[in-house]
Amino acid sequence: MTVISQLFDQLRRENRRAFIPFMTAGDPDSATTQRAVARLVKAGASLVEIGFPYSDPIADGPVIQASYTRALALRPIMTSLLEMCSAMQHNPDTASAPRVGMLSYSLIHRREPARFVADAAKSGLSGLIVPDLPVEESAALRSLCAAAGLDLILLVTPTTPRDRALRILDACSGFVYCVSIAGITGERTELPASLIDQLGWLRCQTKLPLCVGFGVSRPDQAAMLRPHVDGIIVGSALVRQLDRVALEGTEVALDAIENLARSLVSALNT
């Protein structure tokens, strides 16, 4: 059983839902990323998604794009990003929440898949999310991940045909990343009414945990989703707080991140 599977088993026994925050690796620098993750774990994060910055956005909205741009300004290399993940694995303030890497397949391909998966496992990552890898072409990476004890988490969107969604569910491990909207990442005032029906159908098709991302940003949304999901994924609403570093300082930004995280965890598990 993988680390992520063990986590969700424990959450189910405790009747709790997973709060999964997203942070960009290296925005605005490595030290701040690690401090932000520590604050998120302190606030109750179950699992942390680490975004590997990439110059060509896949489904990222303006907030995540800006975060990637800030991180890329420091010209990071893959080795330094993996070293950052390794540091979090060995830091007691961050190690208790497993981490998964979110990245483009082109970054994996450039490093060479077998080498990347081995390095990712060594750095303490427990899974990978590769949004631009079609399920039809995922078998090789799935095999490498399985051999290394990593989960390969795949995405199902509102526009995914149901026959293809079934193939994705068969290939997925760890949890299913349920995209709430047909569009890019970013905060939304409302989630689609059809989302609950989509989650109900997915629940009938798989025993894997269902976690909703894209657009989830507020405590009332977390509370609304609680009966239907195993977890929520929140990115833009948290990452946006890092805009404050330049004007108000790092501590103000980190306090805002922790406070928002606490409000989401409370709504999700009340």
Q: Which of 9, 27, 49, 163 is catalytic?
A: 49
Token digits of residue 211: 């976690």
**What does each C-alpha distance from 136 to 139, 168, 169, 248 come to in angstroms?**
7, 9, 12, 46
For 205, phi and psi rounded to 5 degrees? -105, -20
Catalytic residue, from 60, 119, 230, 258: name it. 60
- Cα 70 from Cα 247, distance rounded (Å): 15
Measured between alpha carbons, how far apart are the two ends of the chain, in Å?
Answer: 29
Q: What is the DSSP string of 167-195?
A: HHHHH--S-EEEE-SSS-S---SS--TTH
Pairwise CA distance, residues 270 & 265, whole Å: 8
Give the list of residues 6+ apart from residue 199 with CB closer than 8 angstroms, or none: 178, 210, 212, 228, 229
Indicate if 29 belongs to the active site: no
Under a CB-based contact definition with an 8 Å cutoff, are residues 253 and 23 in contact?
A: no
Q: Which residue has the tokens 């497993």?
A: 98
Inter-axis angle of helices 30-43 and 78-89, nearest 10: 40
Angle at 127 (CA atoms; ends 225, 162), nearest 5 degrees:
55
* Structure-token pair, residue 140: 């090789």
Q: Give the DSSP H or E segment for 101.
A: strand 99-102
Name the one residue in this structure whose structure tokens are 């709504």: 267
**Is 83 noted as a catalytic residue in this protein?**
no
Which residues are catalytic, by number? 49, 60
